[in-house]
Amino acid sequence: MSEGRRRTRPWGPLRGPSGPARELADLQRAWLDKAGLRVRDLAGALQPEHFTDGRVPARSTVSDRLAGANPRWDFVEAVADVCSRDDAERSRLLDEARPVWERVRATALRRDGRTGQRGERAGQPGRYEDGGVGGARGDEGRPVDCPLDDCRSGGSPDDPSRSAPGGPADEALRAALDRAAEAERARDGAHQLSVLLLTTVGRLEKDLDELRARGGADGVRTEQLRRAHRRLQRSEARRTLLAQELRRVRAERDALRRASLSGPDDRTTGGPVRTTGGEARTDPPDNRPDNRPDKPWGTPGDVRTTPPPDNSPLTAVRALSDARAHGQDTAARHLATTVGRDGNPGFVQRVVALLHADEQPADAERVLTAVARTRPAARVPAVLTALFRAGRPQDASHVHVAVARAESAERVLEVVAALREAGLHSDVYQILMAAGRLRALGDVPPLVRSLESAGRSEDARWLLGFAARERPRTEARALAEILRLAGVPAAADHLLAELRPAITPHPEPTAEEEPPPLPVPTRGLATVIRIDPSPGPRAPILGRRLTDGPYVERVPPPRG
């Protein structure tokens, strides 16, 4: 029995009219317990397709049938369909319940002693109009009681013409039962076929959803093809730009070679001009201090760390690419650093532009970082000017950030001084803003002390102001504490003052300073226009009204 296996409350008592009916109800309860379903869940899962009349029974009817009252085979099939996971399990449950159902029908026939008229539903013998298992019906549609022999013979017990047991009536009864069983089997087959068709329909709907999803994926692939086409167009534009640069550089190289045949000159060597160490001079044309003979690139043990002999930007970019291709990353980094440290401003600008066009941003950033940290401070302003003139402010911003994040405070101070001397004050503000926003907290106090020691207190205040505005408030307060611990309390106080919003107090006027109130007019004129909602054009009605009273007169509208 299943009375003790309920999830919420135990099952109620069985109310079936017979032992097989109660056994069938208990079997259905066991299905529900095994599936973990309640009566509410079962009632909510029932569908009109489960029943021959297309009507879903109420929850109270479901409870009654689970108690054994008025058993029906379509209800048993519905419970099996809800409690099963697939068709195989459903068939197994129905095979388990079919012998019990046959005993329910046989018990009803034996108890009532009726011939088992067929109900409204095909394949369910002996049903009343309400769907129960029963016997014969009278002329007015009410059930009548008659002994089994009377029903078989069709007469009263005293009728001598009735058939003896085992006569034609029994044969007709058995034939009717056989036909009913055959109809029941046909109905079961039709129901299984309908379930199979529903499953097929669900599978087809799933296939349609997959096809629609594939259509969406094809749209995504089309968009990817469009993006690839646009990228190909951009690459073609870069290739055209590189080809133009190649032709220009070759022409420049040929001109330099022709000029070198006539005689060396500072303007044709292409080497960077030294600004320190005595009289200005230029490096040799091959830009190699040790004057080693030329060797082909890629020779074992060769580490070319300086620009090629003609000192052209395109050749320098090729040298960087060849170094990367041969796995000589150290040589490539050294060459990029040399270009940024020793190259002329225009040379550095063109190398950076070509590296970006060749999709080598890492080498371009390394060249710009070398400009910011290893190039003589007096030569940094010329590079920034060349970058701005070439329309590359993003590269100039990278130089600003690299200078601001330099570990040495003296380096930042030297570059700031050189920019101030060159009149590039906006670049100074960019460096100070980047330092206030991005410089490590531990590196800010040495920079502030260096600026104040060099007499650049205004730049120090700019730096602290940018730090207060550009950093999060929590980080800015931590920076103020670090400044205080580093022995710069004035800078910490200035930073905290920049954090607090400036509120200008508004003094309240005294009684002597309050202006006299304006006179309030006691009488005035106002034009009031009344609109008549009735159709047709009408002239507006103008009236004269007191500011503190009602209408006093009407004014006719102006003429013309």
Render pLDDT for 287-308 as a digit per residue (tens, 0 to 9).
Answer: 433 333 334 333 434 444 444 4
Nearest CA to 55 out of 130, 125, 122, 127 is that of 130
Q: Residue 472 has which token pair?
A: 């999060």
What pLDDT shows up at residue 241? 83
Residues contacting residue 182 through CB under 8 Å, at least 6 positions apart:
none
What is the number of structural domains in the chain? 1
Nearest CA to 77 out of 95, 64, 61, 63 is that of 95
**Given the DSSP bridges, would you call strands 541-545 and 527-530 parallel, antiparallel or unpaired?**
antiparallel
Q: Residue 126 has which token pair?
A: 């002996």
Domain-embedded: residue 325: yes
**Hey, what amino acid is at 85?**
R
Chain-centroid distance of CA 400 in Å reads 36
What pLDDT shows up at residue 73? 92
What pLDDT shows up at residue 491? 84
Name the helix (H) or strand (E) containing 353.
helix 345-357
Domain-embedded: residue 474: yes
Domain-embedded: residue 367: yes
pTM of model > 0.75: no
- pLDDT tens digits along 235-256: 888 888 888 888 888 887 777 7
Domain-embedded: residue 390: yes
- CB-based contact 16:25 (threshold 8 Å): yes
Domain that holds residue 460: 313-499
For residue 179, CA distances in Å to 90, 121, 151, 185 come to 25, 14, 19, 10
Domain-embedded: residue 525: no
- CB-based contact 497:481 (threshold 8 Å): no
- pLDDT tens digits along 28-44: 999 999 999 999 999 89
CA distance 528 to 530: 6
CA distance 249 to 310: 10
- CB-based contact 507:514 (threshold 8 Å): no
What pLDDT shows up at residue 143? 39
Nearest CA to 83 out of 25, 31, 6 is that of 31
What pLDDT shows up at residue 219? 66
DSSP 3-state of 283: coil
Domain-embedded: residue 221: no
What is the separation, in whole angstroms, between the first and last Cα of the chain? 105
What pLDDT shows up at residue 31? 92
Ranges of residues in the chain whose predicted pLDDT is under 50 = 1-5, 114-166, 263-310, 546-547, 549, 551-552, 560
CA distance 44 to 334: 77
Domain-embedded: residue 23: no
Domain-embedded: residue 200: no
